[in-house]
Structure 1
Amino acid sequence: MLGRLLHLYFRIVRGMTLGVRAVVLDGEGRVFLVRHTYTPGWHLPGGGVEVGETLEEALAKELREEGCIRLTGPVMLHGMFFNRAMSRRDHVAVFVVREFVVESVKQPDREIAEAGFFPLDALPEGTTPATRRRLDEIAAGARAPAVW
């Protein structure tokens, strides 16, 4: 409940918001997804970029927090998206991550109910449409659209 209230607060109070999401792909063709405690569906891991933080720093922080994943190499920007479904001010940078180490199995906490790697052709029920679109774009090598 507190997570939902904080999420709503930030949607209303902040000016333009900037977030990051990671498409973490392992050597077996699986993608890492999370299910939050405060919103339905399976999502790409990510979160907000804080003042004084670079996009890559924010991405690394969110992967540590949401997946116990540490970056070990460069990330590739897939695209910048205007997320008008979230608000008229929200933008999301999506990165493809292929070089990483899973330091431990992510245990449920206040923010993350479940997390794990899933085959691209067998995504869990409830995977969000936006998550599916980003994965389809990356799999096809397609150019990212401007809108989430």
Structure 2
Amino acid sequence: MSYSDSDSSSQAADYKNFRQITRERLLYEMLRSAKTGSSKSTWKVLIMDKLTVKIMSYACKMADITQEGVSLVEDIFRRRQPLPSMDAIYFIQPTKENVIMFLSDMSGKSPLYKKAFVFFSSPVSKELVGHIKKDSSVLPRIGALREMNLEFFAIDSQV
């Protein structure tokens, strides 16, 4: 059976390039998923490390991010203003340093943010998950904990 022109034209409408797929995963699976559940606040803070900033910038524009309810983009290693009425979306690499920074943001009596939605750029080790589980003050403040497996740059739409 050969692949005819009529078959290819019907599938062409469904075709999405690599950059579009990455963009949709970041915007819809990550940013939009933080809008559901018990989270009622409309605006969120997006916190990233150096690598995840690059991943996001190759796939999305700032207007795309803002349209999904992100009002502020922050670096995880910079000193940040507490915004206890806002939720935070963490898009970070699964490193011990990043997890320590996340835990310091969200632990204690006065966390920096109301709720945290944590998305890791690649698979996270059991050791790091265990480290998060140990802090009982942080657990009720976590709205999501997911691996996105997006540790690559969508430089070209064909790659």
State the TM-score bracket (shorter-chain normalisation): under 0.3
TM-score, length of structure 2 as denominator length: 0.23
More strand by share: 1
Asked which structure has the greater RCO (Cα within 8 Å, sep 6+), the reply is: 1
**TM-score normalized by the length of structure 1:** 0.24
- Pick the structure with more helix per residue: 2
